[in-house]
Amino acid sequence: MNKTRGFLQLTYMLYHHLDKVGGSKKANCLSVYLSLMKYCWKSNDYRAGLRHSTIQKDTGLSRTTIHRTLLTLTKLNVISTIKGRSGKTYQINPKFVKFEKGMFQNETSMYKNETLNVSNVKTLVETLIYSNTIEEIIKNNRGNKQSIIDNLAKLPLLDLKMDKNNPYYVRLAIQRKEELAANEKKTYVPPQKILQALKSISKNSNPRYREKVSYNKRNNLDYKGNPIAKDKNKV
């Protein structure tokens, strides 16, 4: 591997795009992404063939965690996976590695006030791209109340409780989440057993059927009306 590159690029766009997972999952995504970036160079169209063992060596994460994290990055459209005969090739979405226009500039007030005696110094302008998952779901499903509730119910309970901007939908989403959890705990009777029970109830409620059963018992007959053979071994 060419080691002349002095840094690994991490854009604000990607950093806050990963807010959608949050917590330790976000930290794992960042670690795995930076490991991929060590090998995915622009000259190779941000592609590289890697083994999980290589990523494990870079990140210290377990192979199970690496596998799950790669799936998460794929679902978030941060990377794509290309299967080949010799293994998998990973490609970084150029959207998250391209230079962000206006990220560096030397015309800001900070530059003018603080770097008057410094030449060729560029000030980093932070453009915070924050993605509020709850508000995105509400916006993307506007006009479909049930769809909003069902999608919000898929979010972690803690995320819902922490939101203070959408109390109405959050309350309904928590209720829906509790309903789904309760349904998972229910024990359902197989339809076949229900049909058999209904059939038995129907037969037993028929007077003619009860008379026939009573007659067969008195005369030692089976359900077809044939004599039941006596066991000779019985005394």
Relative to beta strand 87-92, strand 47-49 is: antiparallel
Is residue 39 left, alpha or beta, with left meaning phi > 0 and alpha meaning psi from -120 to 50? alpha
| Residue written as token pair 């002349």 | 4
Question: Torsions phi, psi of 89, nearest 5?
Answer: -115, 130
What pLDDT sits at residue 78?
92
Between CA 211 and CA 215, with CA 213 as vertex, the angle to 5 degrees is 65
Assessment of whether the complete model's pTM goes beyond 0.75: no
The per-residue DSSP string of the chain comes to: -----------HHHHHHGGGT-HHHHHHHHHHHHHHHHH-BGGGTTEEE--HHHHHHHH---HHHHHHHHHHHHHTTSEEEEEETTEEEEEE-GGGTSPPTTSEES-SHHHHHH-TT-SS--EE--------HHHHHHHHTTT-HHHHHHHHTTS-HHHHHH--S-HHHHHHHHHHHHHHHHHHH--PPPHHHHHHHHHHHHHHT-HHHHHHHHHHHHTTB-TTSPBPPP-TT--
Q: Residue 146 corresponds to which amino acid? A: Q
Cα distance between residue 96 and residue 12, in whole Å:
9
CB neighbourhood size of 148 (10 A): 21
Torsion, Cα 104 106 108 110, to 10 degrees, reads: 100
End-to-end CA gap in the chain: 92
Cα distance between residue 155 and residue 121, in whole Å:
43
Tokens representing 109 are: 């007030």
Q: Which domains does the chain have, with CATH numbers?
A: 12-96 (1.10.10.10), 99-131 (no CATH), 133-185 (no CATH)
Q: Which portions of the chain are predicted below pLDDT 70?
A: 1-6, 98-132, 186-189, 203, 230-235
162-219 pLDDT, tens digit each: 888 888 999 999 999 898 888 777 666 677 777 777 777 776 777 777 788 888 888 8
What pLDDT sits at residue 1?
47
